Amino acid sequence: MTATSSAIDRAAGWLRAGGLVALPTETVYGLGANAEDPAAVARIFQVKGRPPSHPLIVHIADADQLDDWVEEVPVTARLLAEHFWPGPLTLVLRRGRRVPLEATGGLETVAVRVPDHPVALALLSAFGGGVTAPSANRFGSVSPTTADHVRTELGDAVDFVLDGGPCQVGVESTIVDVTGEFTSILRPGGVTREDLEAVLGIPIGTPSRSHVRVPGQHPSHYAPRARVVLVEPENVVAEAKTAQELGHRVGVLLPASLTGAAMTAHAVVTLPDAMDSYVHGLYSFLRELDQQGCDLIVASPPAEEGLGLAIANRLHRAAGPRPSA
């Protein structure tokens, strides 16, 4: 654990005072506020430029606290919490009275998880309550996986940055809806569909649309400054060459299968072959190509299985329609 006990106590003090604290989790850094303080929660939306209808995730210190925050806990939710908490899994349940509507985007459902990071857990224990914490970045941009990413993007808008080192998973949690008859993945993430199915013993759906709003559903999300173009693996080299000839400063996320290919591009990141290494580095790779001055990034989503589903989801959102200026 990199953060000192003194720093954790200071962060807890800021939360009690209605402040915003950037905290590390195993997925990405979160922008945290007291989940029971509507004014503090509202500051999160203001700082991020996040639509107020976009729900937040409530982070708690232990699965035993789940009953304090939701109306009821179905058997399926208990089973998933038992197997995957602490960890990168978020459960959507019926909102308990303790959760203000400001934190749920006005919905009667709430997203809850227990993070698997010693600093985050120490802060939650020291604070003694729930913490709403979306990613600590401007809405729609690449999520931060280090404390420096947070400082660079949000600066003095955050009252305290709690440095817990680089995040281990590298993308956000998997969000699972357990409010109805059927269990479904609303956002793929650090827990795979195959892992969930192995525990529940039933197929898990991944609907393209859901009546339950959750983080990460915006058409453009996780996006670098450069425009992202997605193609099939066999077309990456040709697409990069064409874009470069048209005057773009092209960055390429080069699949491991194409290592050594002759590239015409401004900057190239050769991707690791292992999916856990790819998902861990994805946001850093996108940031690196931004930093090298690329205005267009060519990439190819991996197969949508295992952690590849989370990577493909992030790349498709990053390539989504940009808001008008």
How does pLDDT run across 249-293, given as a tens digit for each residue?
Answer: 999 999 999 988 888 899 999 999 999 999 999 999 999 999 999
- Structure tokens given for 5: 């006990």
Q: Which residue has the higher pLDDT, 215 or 83?
A: 83
- Confidence (pLDDT) at 324: 47
Q: What is the pLDDT of residue 118?
A: 97
**Helix, strand, coil % (nearest 5) of the chain?**
35, 20, 45
State the average pLDDT for the chain. 94
Q: Which of the four pLDDT bands, split at 50, 70 and 90, describes residue 325?
A: very low
Helices marked H in the chain — which ranges?
5-16, 38-48, 75-84, 101-104, 118-127, 147-154, 193-200, 236-245, 275-291, 308-318
Residue 184 DSSP SS3: strand
107-158 confidence digits (pLDDT tens): 999 999 999 999 999 999 999 999 999 999 999 899 999 999 999 999 999 9
pLDDT > 70 in the chain, percent: 94
**Residue 216 banded pLDDT, cuts 50, 70, 90:** low
With 70 as the cut, is the pLDDT of residue 208 above it? no
